[in-house]
Amino acid sequence: MLFGRKSSPRASPLPLKKSDDPGPIKPKKKCTLKMLALGLVGIMFFRFFLTMAGRIVFSTFVFVASFDKSGSLDRFVNHAFYQILDGLDTQGELTCMNWGYVDLSPDAPKIEMDASDEPERWCLQMYNKIASAPGDLTGLNVLEVGSGRGGGSSYTKRYLHPAKMTGLDYSSKAVDFLTRKTRQKHPRR
């Protein structure tokens, strides 16, 4: 009986042709462009993830806060935000926490300030604008609610001459700062 074999691969007795010879194995080139592209895609995904996470957290907060008629959640988040914000200025240089005000009209008078107030001129200009809006404060008792680090209250007291200036804030960090730094910088007059 004959058992035929279907053709099966066999080792070629012939030497490899030159074209089949893989030659010496070279180390793989670093694929810099590919890595860069992957990195960029990674960063884009990460940013997208952060944005989405931020939106979800914010929407959840707005949704939950809408049921909180007492406003305590709102106060809690605000309080936490300002406590954190206050901790960010580790050098403790800033006594104000507002966006500032600049009168851009060409005939705007220059507001005179001590050299030590110049670094926070724009923020203090806002105090000058708002605190002097109701009129002359001389001899009045003034209360600032949300006085932050006290730079604005200090400015109001020193330049607008109320009889008494009181600052009030629920951020204990801001009040601590006021006690330590603002009074050091501008001792009570």
Q: Which residues bind ligand SAM (CB under 6 A)?
A: 78, 82, 96-98, 145-148, 151-152, 168-171, 174
In this complex, which beta carbon is closest to ligand SAM, that of residue 101 or of residue 161?
A: 101
Q: To which residue do tokens 């600052």 refer?
A: 167
Q: Minimum distance between the CB of residue 58 and ligand SAM, rounded to whole angstroms?
A: 19
Q: Minimum distance between the CB of residue 149 and ligand SAM, rounded to whole angstroms?
A: 6
Amino acid at 147: S
- 165 close to 157: Cβ distance less than 8 angstroms: yes
Please give the C-alpha separations between residue 91 and each of 75, 94, 158, 170, 183, in angstroms, as whole numbers.
27, 8, 24, 22, 16
Amino acid at 29: K
In this complex, which beta carbon is closest to ligand SAM, that of residue 117 or of residue 169?
A: 169
Tokens of 52: 């989405």
Query: What distance in Å separates the CA atoms of residue 138 and residue 126, rounded to the nearest whole number?
Result: 18
Query: What distance in Å separates the CA atoms of residue 164 and residue 178, rounded to the nearest whole number?
Result: 17
Query: What distance in Å separates the CA atoms of residue 185 and residue 92, rounded to the nearest whole number?
Result: 11
In this complex, which beta carbon is closest to ligand SAM, that of residue 163 or of residue 168?
A: 168
In this complex, which beta carbon is closest to ligand SAM, that of residue 96 or of residue 137?
A: 96
Q: Minimum distance between the CB of residue 146 and ligand SAM, rounded to whole angstroms?
A: 3
Q: Minimum distance between the CB of residue 105 and ligand SAM, rounded to whole angstroms?
A: 23
Q: Minimum distance between the CB of residue 38 and ligand SAM, rounded to whole angstroms?
A: 41
Q: Is the dihedral of CA 78, 80, 84, 86 positive or negative?
A: positive
In this complex, which beta carbon is closest to ligand SAM, that of residue 40 or of residue 111?
A: 111
User: End-to-end distance of the chain based on CA atoms, in angstroms?
Assistant: 122
Tokens of 170: 């629920």
